[in-house]
Amino acid sequence: MSENDIANHVTVMIPEPLRAYTDGQAEVSVQAGTVGDVLYQLVSQYEEIGKRIIDESGGLRHGVIIAVNGQDIRFAGHLQAPVRPGEQVQIVVTMLV
């Protein structure tokens, strides 16, 4: 990955219960965009995690919270919330998924 590619990426923090679906990785790097874009890229790389965080209608499953730099996206544009290069996206699971 080039320096420019790295500069356009965000880090997705994977919680312990979901790491089995990311080959044990605690962090995954994807391109910046909206939260929806970031999740789409994550699921493109690790298909099985999609079943744990996204429901059949394309929304977040009950008990899954997404935050950008610690701010809950439910209060900041939901899946359309922007994620800028260098920011962190945290996935929080409030119940067993």
Whole-angstrom distance, CA of residue 75 vs CA of residue 14:
21
* Strand partners for 64: 93
Q: What is the pLDDT of residue 40?
A: 94
- Please report the beta strands in the chain, taking only residues with DSSP state E, as ranges in sequence order: 9-13, 27-31, 33-34, 64-68, 71-72, 82-83, 88-93
Identify which of 29, 34, 89 has the alpha carbon closest to the alpha carbon of residue 65: 89
Q: How many CA atoms lie within 13 A of 68 on its CB side?
A: 23
CB 61 within 8 A of CB 11: no
Using pLDDT thresholds of 50, 70 and 90, give the confidence band for residue 5. Answer: low
Whole-angstrom distance, CA of residue 21 vs CA of residue 86:
23
| Entry pTM | 0.86
Q: What is the pLDDT of residue 50?
A: 94
Place of tokens 């790389």: 45
For the cut 60, the answer to whether the pLDDT of residue 6 exceeds it is no
pLDDT, tens digit, 9 for 90 and up, residues 18-77:
999 999 999 999 998 999 999 999 999 999 999 999 999 988 999 999 999 999 988 877
CATH number 3.40.50.1110 is the correct assignment for the domain at 3-93: no
14 vs 79, residue with greater confidence: 14
**Which sequence spans correspond to the domains of the chain?**
3-93
